[in-house]
Amino acid sequence: MLSTIPSCVLDNPVSEVPVPSEFDYNYWLLSHWYLHNEEIKDSSFYEGKVENLYKNLSDPYTQYIPPIKSEEIEGQINTSIVAGDIGVELLLNTQNEYPLFIYRVYPSSPASNAEIERYSTIISINGIDLKGNEAYTTYQKELSSHKNILLTVKKNNVLDTFSLKKENVLIPTIFLDTINSVLFISIETFKPYTWDQVNGSLGEMRSILEKTKEVPLRILDLRNNLGGHLNQCTGMADLFVSEGILSTRTYKQVNANGETTLFTSTDTATSGDPGEQGDFLLFVNHNTASCGEIFTAAVAENRSFTIIGEKTYGKGVGQNTWKTKDNGLAIITNMFFKTPNGLIYNKQGIQPDVVCDQVSYNCIFDYINTNALLKAKTKNSVYYDSFLRASSSSSFSFGGAIEYILE
């Protein structure tokens, strides 16, 4: 006779724990992780609306990205892909009848494959003249509305027309330019997936440093660098520093019991990288911010690099990013930074050693000539130096010192 083994069953089974709503999840995140969570009121105050949670916070970088936009924004945070583009960077020459000036042609892009030359002027797009104040608006409208683009450009009084098909363009984030015999390394941003698809901006910089190691003086140009991924900018700073603290951050953590505590950690340098030898200058402006400031402080305070330009923006806080229940993004400030020497620069910025009246190439050339840093004097003229950027992202629309995305 077979014996029956009784099952272990609760007389009154526990009911399922309800799945939190999008509002409840965001309220929990802000209540526990937000650096200034004393600002968070009782949940009833927000009427169950996610947008109300983020609307009145003192921190301008903490924000909610709704699901309809989250994939696009996540791509912008993590990659340098420009969707549906021909692969050129434009400047505005407002003194010219045709103001759109091709400043860069990105490698392996439709423009590059068609052999459009750098420093050309755009005359028309799809047969529409691009003159005057509305030229860039017209250009963007045509570019966004058509997959096939007919572009007419002019250089050295020669007109050429190119038939292009838009593609997703993976652009570099670091550029190398020799201007009046001076080598500039322009660091646009810090991202993990770029032209270097394995190591991102960090890999781009390592490659450039190895290629230029014999150059007597290199300029690290961080003007208009709004930031990026934290591990990318500290890792890049490490390429120049053999030992010492790169950055210190204090951040919020939530333990297994749901208790919030503050932790402090430091990023330290390791030796053996290609930027540890050689002479460098740092070139910054008011739009050098966040990770751009972390990098600037790390190399300036550890290597005594001279900082030239104007006071930086002063964004000394960073964000973590969470995927929410409904696939939105919660971007929440939960850390602040100090320089290697222990200075807080949030809302204060980093002061340059040499202040420029105008943060232009001429300021660098003047400093080089005055201090005889190169054997030959440099010329003080770059004809496109006064041109304006045709487009720029709204400042810090998604943070600027992003650590990582948490599911």
CATH number, position 373: 3.90.226.10
User: What gap in Å lies between CA 357 and CA 340, rounded to an integer?
Assistant: 28
CATH number, position 156: 2.30.42.10
Q: Which of 113, 147, 169 is the last residue of a domain?
A: 169
The predicted model scores a pTM of: 0.91
User: Based on the domain organization, do 266 and 294 belong to the same domain?
Assistant: yes
Paired strand residues for 184:
177, 219
What per-residue confidence (pLDDT) applies to 386? 73
User: Based on the domain organization, do 245 and 335 belong to the same domain?
Assistant: yes
What per-residue confidence (pLDDT) applies to 393? 41
Task: Dump the DSSP string for 179-220.
Answer: ETTEEEEEE--B-SBSSSTTTHHHHHHHHHHHHTTT-SEEEE
Q: Which of 147, 169, 191 is the last residue of a domain?
A: 169
What per-residue confidence (pLDDT) applies to 407? 44
Paired strand residues for 260:
254
User: Based on the domain organization, do 116 and 256 belong to the same domain?
Assistant: no
User: Based on the domain organization, do 165 and 181 belong to the same domain?
Assistant: no
User: Based on the domain organization, do 262 and 336 belong to the same domain?
Assistant: yes
The 10 Å Cβ neighbour count of residue 342 is 9
User: Based on the domain organization, do 213 and 264 belong to the same domain?
Assistant: yes
Q: Which of 169, 204, 237 is the last residue of a domain?
A: 169
Structural domains counted in the chain:
2
| Three-state SS at 235 | helix
User: Based on the domain organization, do 195 and 344 belong to the same domain?
Assistant: yes
pLDDT per residue, tens digit, the chain (407 aa), is 444 444 444 455 555 657 899 999 999 999 999 999 999 999 999 999 999 999 989 999 999 999 999 999 999 999 999 999 999 999 999 999 999 999 999 999 999 999 999 999 999 999 999 999 999 999 999 999 999 999 999 999 999 999 999 999 999 999 999 999 999 999 999 999 999 999 999 999 999 999 999 999 999 999 999 999 999 999 999 999 999 999 999 999 988 888 899 999 999 999 999 999 999 999 999 999 999 999 999 999 999 999 999 999 999 999 999 999 999 999 999 999 999 999 999 999 999 999 999 999 999 999 999 999 988 777 666 767 777 877 654 444 444 566 654 44
What is the total residue count of the chain? 407
Identify whether 95 is part of a domain. yes
Identify whether 6 is part of a domain. no
User: What gap in Å lies between CA 73 and CA 77, rounded to an integer?
Assistant: 6
- 332, 271 Cβ separation under 8 angstroms: no
Domain hosting 259: range is 172-406
Written as six digits, the tokens of 395 are 């400042």
User: Based on the domain organization, do 264 and 388 belong to the same domain?
Assistant: yes
User: Based on the domain organization, do 99 and 156 belong to the same domain?
Assistant: yes
User: Based on the domain organization, do 202 and 160 belong to the same domain?
Assistant: no
What per-residue confidence (pLDDT) applies to 390? 77
Identify whether 15 is part of a domain. no
Identify whether 165 is part of a domain. yes
